[in-house]
Amino acid sequence: MNRKYIIAVVVFLFFSISASVFADKSSVAIEVPENITKGSVVTIKVTVTHSGNNFMHYTNWVYVNVNGKEIARWDFSWNNKPENEVFTREVKYTIEEPVTIEAEANCNMHGSKGKATKKIEL
């Protein structure tokens, strides 16, 4: 057997096993200001957590919905991964009525820990 082939297989198995040991599903947390009045422009901050990012295992998307409508989305790939295992994204939104903010992130191999939700009552 070719020595380079054996080394490539060993390296691949090492990264595969390492990713599985430390990997998990992507999760999100939403932060918004406490006191919001009608007409306010608020910054919605989404913090994403995902252990074990590597070239074949990473958070591949994050979205933010307000009242069921997508207002922001970030897509990632093997060569355009998030900058860290914990990262944030922000989006501005004008609050004109009570809203339900929903965010979710997804691991390309393990999926999502589920949606995070915040309600803002004026």
* DSSP assigned state of 43: E
- What is d(CA 91, CA 71) in angstroms, rounded to the nearest whole number? 8
* Contact criterion met (CB below 8 Å) for 46 and 88: yes
pTM of the model: 0.81
User: Phi and psi (nearest 5°) for 13?
Assistant: -65, -40
Question: For the chain, what are the domain ranges?
Answer: 24-120
pLDDT at 103: 98
* Contact criterion met (CB below 8 Å) for 59 and 79: no
Strands 116-120 and 41-49: unpaired
Tokens of 117: 């939700």
pLDDT tens per residue, range 50-87: 998 888 899 999 999 999 999 999 999 999 999 999 99
CATH number of 24-120: 2.60.40.730
